[in-house]
Amino acid sequence: MISSFQAFIRLVWILREQCPWDIKQTHESISHLLIEEAYETLEAISSGKDEDLSKELGDLLLHVVMHGVMAEQRGAFGLIDVINQEFDKLVNRHPHIFGDEVAEDETKVLHNWERLKLKEGRESVLDGVPKSLPAALRAQRVQEKAANVGFDWHDKRDVWAKVYEELDELKVEITNGNVGGTRREFGDVLFALVNAARHEGVIAEDALHNTVNTFMHRFQYIEKRVAEEQRELTTMSLEEMDEHWEEAKRRGL
């Protein structure tokens, strides 16, 4: 395995030295591709197809190695520095395995993890949550990190009560025609729903993605049926389109 990894690193070095396209690339120029590959990996995981996951993990590895080689060419750091740093971090953050601390459950492990990150120099337990994350995922990560140090409800009834409270506040702003207040309360409702999803063991980002996919499949079924009828969507009533929607549901779409 080590020789294969070394050969892979050498291959990337050759590309950086001889391929006109690879030579021109920078950390910034391929940063969006790293995000794309990460999302493709998520799709592969969702598909449950190991062959796809293996391929996408390889694409992710290419970007990790490419960025490492670029940094080494600049004299900043090398891949061995990346590996050693991550190795040391994992050892230091698992004192219940490599030290004399005791962690009887997952909650204690997570609590220790956040405590150790603060000792390493972070000013807030919320540091490290990228602002560029999709909003629902970012909300859940922020909530999880706060929960890891005890800032969380322990009774799910309180969690859902907060959802209903935020909904009531949203209704007031809508009734009053307050655009700014409506925008703010919509955000509060969404944040509360993400928190409720977390307490129910649901990843809100995944749940929303699944719902969007379901909507797309059913709407595309409507388009297909309308085309078969040689009609156009713009000439149909909502009731007519809804009949096809219900047909799509019956077909399991």
Paired tokens of 210: 């699944």
Paired tokens of 193: 């729903």
Geometric angle at alpha carbon 250, from 244 and 251, rounded to 5°: 90
**180 domain residue, yes or no:** yes
Q: Which of 77, 92, 107 is the C-terminal boundary of a domain?
A: 92
At residue 71, what is the residue type?
Answer: A
Domains: count for the chain: 3
Per-residue pLDDT of the chain (253 residues; tens, 9 = 90+): 668 999 999 999 999 999 999 999 999 999 989 989 998 998 899 889 999 999 999 999 999 999 999 999 999 999 999 999 999 999 988 988 898 888 788 888 887 877 877 777 778 888 888 888 899 999 999 999 999 888 999 999 999 999 999 999 999 999 999 999 999 999 999 999 999 999 999 999 989 989 999 999 999 999 999 999 999 999 999 999 999 999 999 999 8
User: With a threshold of 0.75, does the pTM exceed it?
Assistant: no
Per-residue confidence (pLDDT) for residue 25, from 0 to 100: 96
Instruction: Read off the DSSP letter of residue 233.
Output: G
Nearest alpha carbon to residue 144 among 158, 121, 128: 128
**163 domain residue, yes or no:** yes
Within 8 A by CB and 6+ apart from 200, the residues are 156
84 and 36 in a common domain: yes
Q: Which of 92, 116, 131 is the C-terminal boundary of a domain?
A: 92
Q: Which of 163, 185, 202 is the C-terminal boundary of a domain?
A: 202
**64 domain residue, yes or no:** yes
> Could you give phi then psi for residue 154, rounded to 5 degrees?
-105, -15
Note whether 136 and 205 are within 8 A (CB). Answer: yes
Note whether 192 and 163 are within 8 A (CB). Answer: yes
Per-residue confidence (pLDDT) for residue 1, from 0 to 100: 64
**225 domain residue, yes or no:** yes
The residue ranges of DSSP E strands in the chain, in sequence order, are none
176 and 194 in a common domain: yes
Distance CA 109, CA 129 (A): 19
**137 domain residue, yes or no:** no
What residue numbers bound the domain in which 157 lies? 153-202
The CATH number of residue 60's host domain is 1.10.287.1080
68 and 43 in a common domain: yes
74 and 20 in a common domain: yes
11 and 88 in a common domain: yes
8 and 55 in a common domain: yes
237 and 220 in a common domain: yes
